[in-house]
Amino acid sequence: MELNGIGAFVAGGASGLGQATARELTARGARVTLADVNEDHGTALAEELGGAFARADVTDEEQVAAAVSAAGEIRLAVNCAGIGWAERTVKKDGPAALEPFETVVRVNLIGSFNVLRLAAAAMVDNEPNGDGERGAVVMTASIAAFEGQIGQTAYAASKGGVAGLTLPAARDLAGRAVRVCTIAPGLFDTPLLAALPEDAREALGKTMPFPQRLGKPEEFAHLACAVAENPMLNGEVIRLDGALRMAPR
């Protein structure tokens, strides 16, 4: 699809991969609505970009529905909202806590489906474009979906769920002319890694085959836009990882 002039919805758009995606979409002429739980950052970014902001927790049906509705006609939705958690299945003092596992799955997997279903429901009412397309949804998984490390059971399970959701969702929506793809990033320079010391960040970057550095959020944003622009990309999980394959630890 042509991005110039379309309405785009970016969940988790106040920081990291979502912020970079919102910036890139705006630069390409899209009208962007950001949804995030961080109202201060989201409002400031929306004002900077000339877009709109809606406070929404991706796990909340009513909040996401209201945010999608307020966005008007949308033809692209990108969900970058997510959280992480590290804990071994069995620790020295007993089994892993269940609540953090449930929370990570709820935000990363159920939240992704919540955004997908509500955004797609809005898109099916669009008039088809020149390619007969009504919209596209891009979700965010992780290479942890395929090579989860020690302590990543919750995160890997949630992202594996997003990867597994992609093809059946694309098949579900094919008859309504809405595409679904997922990007599975590797190690990216996001707020999740920003708390690490610089030497630790550099060491992580050197584990990448090539380029030997952390991924840039802008590179994720470029791929999200490329997915939107290419009508033959559908039902696919695309690794964006510099050929990295994660070791057990």
3 token code pair: 């991005």
SS3 136: strand
Q: What residue type is assigned to position 233 of the chain?
A: L
Candidates 9, 53, 85, 155; catalytic one:
155
Catalytic residue flag (residue 155)? yes
Q: Which residues of 196-234 are buried (b: 16+ CB within 10 A; e: fewer)?
A: eeeeebeebbeebeeeeebbebebbbebbbebbeebebb
SS (H, E, C) 45-59: HHHHHCCEEEECCCC
How many residues are given for the chain?
249
**DSSP state string for 179-236:** EEEEEEE-SB-SHHHHTS-HHHHHHHHHTSSSS-SPBPHHHHHHHHHHHHH-TT--S-
Distance separating alpha carbons of residues 97 and 109, to the nearest angstrom: 19
Instruction: Give catalytic residue positions.
Output: 155
